[in-house]
Structure 1
Amino acid sequence: MGVITLENEFAIAVAPAKLFKAYCLDTDTLLPKILPEHIKSSEIIEGNGGPGTIRKITFAGGYFSLIEANVWKDAVEKVTYEHKFMSTPEGGSICKRTSTYYIKGDAEINRDQIKDVYGKKTAGLFKAIEAYFLANPDAQI
C-alpha cells in the first residue's frame, strides 16, 4: 500500500477558536446553513465529535468531478486529515492541513490533481465560513 501526504495552508479572517468550533465541532448546523447549494445535511453517526468520529455529510444534487473521474474508485483505502489552527497578528487564523491518502495495492492516483482540487475546495469552504462570520460578526453557532 502506498501513502501520499499533502500539505495545505489557508489564511482565514476569523479567530482560531471560532474557526475551530465552526469547522470541526458545529459543522452539522453551520455547513448546511452557509453552503445549502452544496451540503444538504451533516450528522454524526458514530462518536462524539472527537477523534475517531464518523460524520455523514449528504451533499446537494450534482456530482463531484474528482470522484467521477475515478480517482478514488478502487484506489484509496482511506484518507486522514490533521488540522492545526494558529492565530495571526491581525486576529485571524492560519489553518495548516495535512491529508494522508492510503492507496490500495499498486493503484496510482494523481497527487497534483488531488492537491489542486482538494486545496481549492477546502479554500472555498474556509472562505464561505469567513464570509458568514464577517457578515454576521455576533453569530453564535
Structure 2
Amino acid sequence: MVASAHPVEGEGGIGSVRQFNFTSAMPFDLMKERLEFIDVDKCECKSTLIEGGGIGTAIETATSHIKVEVAANGGSVVKVESTYKLLLGVEVNDEITKAKDSVTTIFKAAEAYLIANPDAYN
C-alpha cells in the first residue's frame, strides 16, 4: 500500500512535514502531513493533512491523533481519532468509509511488514 515515505521538511519534530507515496491499491497517490504534536514517552502524535489524500477534492481539512497503547497480551493497540471537514456537497458516509478503510489498510500493511521483518525496528 505504501510505496515509500520520506521527510519533506524538518527533523521529525513539531512542524515537520512527511510525505507518503502510495501504490495503486490506494484511492490517492500521495499524502503530505505536518506534525502538530508528539509525545514519544506516551507514544502519541497528532498531524494535519496538508496535501493529497483527498484535500481539495473531497476534504477541506483533516487531522489525525494516533496513540499506541500496550495491550494486555503484551502486544499493542493503535487508536486513531481523525477529524475531517468535508467540502460542500461531498457525501459524509462515502468519505468517512474511504478514510477509515485507508487508515486501516495502511496500519495493517505496516503491521504485516513489521511482523515479517522484526529487525526493521528496535
- The structure whose residues are more often strand, as a share, is 2
Task: Give 1:62 deviation, angstroms.
Answer: 7.3
Task: Give 1:82 deviation, angstroms.
Answer: 0.8
Task: Give 1:73 deviation, angstroms.
Answer: 4.2
Task: Give 1:102 deviation, angstroms.
Answer: 3.0
Match of 2:67 in 1: 84
Gaps of 5+ in 1: 1-34, 66-70
RMSD of aligned C-alpha atoms?
Answer: 2.8
Instruction: Determine if the alignment matches structure 1 residue 58 to structure 2 residue 21.
Output: yes
Match of 1:120 in 2: 101
**% identical aligned pairs:** 31
TM-score between both structures, scaled by the size of structure 2? 0.60
Report the CA distance shift for 1:132/1:62 in structure 2 as closer, same or farther (over 3 A).
closer
Report the CA distance shift for 1:54/1:109 in structure 2 as closer, same or farther (over 3 A).
same
Matches within 5 A, 1:39-78: 39=3, 41-60=4-23, 64=27, 73=56, 75-78=58-61
Task: Give 1:75 deviation, angstroms.
Answer: 4.9
Q: Report the residue type matching 1:86 in the other structure.
A: E
Match of 1:25 in 2: none
Partners of 2:102 and 2:24 in 1: how far apart?
A: 17
Task: Give 1:96 deviation, angstroms.
Answer: 1.5
Taking CA–CA contacts closer than 8 Å with sequence separation of 6 or more, which of the two structures ends up with the larger relative contact order?
1
| Per-residue deviation, residues 76-104 of structure 1 (Å, max 9, x unmatched) | 33211111111101122222211122345
TM-score between both structures, scaled by the size of structure 1? 0.53
- The structure whose residues are more often helix, as a share, is 1
Instruction: Determine if the alignment matches structure 1 residue 95 to structure 2 residue 58.
Output: no
Following TM superposition, where does structure 1 have runs of at least 4 consecutive aligned residues deviating by more than 6 angstroms?
none
Q: Rg bigger for which structure?
A: 1
Gaps of 5+ in 2: 29-53
CA contact under 8 A between 2:58 and 2:95: conserved in structure 1?
A: no
Task: Give 1:63 deviation, angstroms.
Answer: 6.7
